[in-house]
Amino acid sequence: MVDSVEVESKHVAPLAECAHCNHMLPPGLGEIQCEICEAVCKVSHQPTVDALIEESVPCPHCNMILVAGTEERPVDLTCSGCNGVFALTAKIVKVEIECPGCERKLRIRPRPGTRQLDCPACESAFNVTF
For residues 79-87, give the mean pLDDT: 92
Domain ranges of the chain: 6-89, 95-129
Structure confidence by residue, pLDDT tens digits, 39-70: 999 999 999 999 999 999 999 999 999 999 99
109 exposed, middle or buried (CB, 10 Å; 0-12, 13-18, 19+)?
exposed
Segment 71-93 shows an average pLDDT of 92
Report the DSSP beta bridge partners of residue 17. Answer: 24
H or E segment to which residue 67 belongs? strand 65-67
pTM, to two decimals: 0.76
Residue 7 scores a pLDDT above 90: yes
Confidence band (pLDDT; 50, 70, 90) for 1? very low
pLDDT at 112: 85
Q: What is the mean pLDDT of residues 25-51?
A: 92
Quick one: pLDDT at residue 13? 87
Q: State the chain's mean pLDDT as an integer.
A: 91
